[in-house]
Amino acid sequence: MDMHLSELDQHFTIPKTRKVGADRPIAWLKMGMADLLQHPGPSLTYGGIVTVVGWLMLSMVDPNGHFFATLVTGFLLLSPLAAAGIYELTSEREEGRETSFMQSLHDMGKNLSQIAFLGVILGMVAIAWERVSAILFALLYGGQVPAGTSIISALTGEYLNFTLVWVAAGFVLACFVFALSAVSIPMLADREVDSVTAMMTSLRAVAENIGTMVVWAALIVTLTAIGFATYLIGLVVIFPLLGHATWYAYKEMVE
């Protein structure tokens, strides 16, 4: 479906965006893997940090409570911010400069305030989602899944209708956040623009490439699910791979 968002130009001065083919996400992953292999040390360092942070976050909550499922969602909402350093690694390589973990951290500082502002927005979204989930779970379970019941069991059977509503709400939220952040974070790492302009650019890029971005989102969800299925260990490689690939998605869709 082709969506025209030319009215955005009445309020924002944003870069032109391009339409790309639905086969491009696979190409982005291939280029991302090539980048990962070019500088595995710093890239895997980011993957390791995200994995450790994920372990710490998930270990702090009861796996039977509503907060566990919500925390997983919040982790997915906020983790793309950590990829800002990976975008810097790819940018350094494109410019022929030496790539290193410390150098990428240094380069992130050139537009850190706007990246942080976007992080605050995503953080507020994550908090709002946690509150909505808490209310929904409280209405059914008094705020806590019955003892001895796994979160999977508690979301099926007689509570399946609730699960469908909860998942649908999470899906709508995820689509919204994906549309705003698909290329905005690499754009902030690449250019000295404000976060609102970056988000509006991302929104238009996604709207003009609906089919392609559906494929891309499906690949991201699948690979991330594999990462969680391996107790986050797989994210050591999957996270930087998706980070490098997202950089190429941004470069192709934004002039």
The reported pLDDT for the residue numbered 10 is: 53
pLDDT of residue 204: 94
Query: Mean pLDDT highest for which of 71-75, 169-173, 230-234?
Result: 230-234
The answer to whether residues 220 and 242 touch, using CB atoms and an 8 Å cutoff, is: yes
User: Largest Cα–Cα distance in the chain?
Assistant: 59
Q: Give the residue from 114, 83, 102, 119 showing the smallest Cα distance to 42.
A: 102
Q: How confident is the model at residue 179 (pLDDT cuts 50, 70, 90)?
A: very high
DSSP H or E stretch at residue 112: helix 112-141
Contact 27, 212 (CB under 8 A): no
Q: Residue 77 and residue 135: Cα distance in Å, rounded?
A: 20
Residues 245, 82, 201, 172: what is their CA dihedral angle, to the nearest 10 degrees?
90
In this predicted structure, which of 53-57, 133-137, 232-236 has the lowest mean pLDDT? 133-137
Q: How far apart are CA 75 and CA 126, in angstroms?
A: 8
Q: What is the pLDDT of residues 228-243, one digit of tens each?
A: 889 889 999 999 999 9
**Confidence at residue 157, expressed as pLDDT on a 0 to 100 scale:** 60
The identity of residue 58, as a single letter, is: L
pLDDT digits (tens, 9 = 90+) for 106-128: 777 777 888 889 988 888 888 88
d(CA 254, CA 81): 19
Residue 242 has what pLDDT? 94
pLDDT tens for 1-51 read 444 555 555 555 788 999 999 999 999 999 999 999 988 899 999 999 999
d(CA 44, CA 100): 11
How confident is the model at residue 245, as a pLDDT? 95
How far apart, in Å, are the Cα atoms of 131 and each of 74, 125, 134, 199? 12, 10, 5, 24
pLDDT at site 155: 59
Q: Which residues pair with 17 in a beta bridge?
A: 254
Q: List beta partners, residue 254.
A: 17
Torsions phi, psi for 183 (to 5 deg): -125, 0
Q: What is the mean pLDDT of the chain?
A: 82
Q: Is residue 143 scored above 70 in pLDDT?
A: no
Q: Please report, for the chain, the start and end positions of each structural domain, with discontinuous segments joined by +.
A: 30-253
pTM of the model: 0.83
Crossing angle between the packed helical segments 24-38 and 40-59, to the nearest 10 degrees: 100
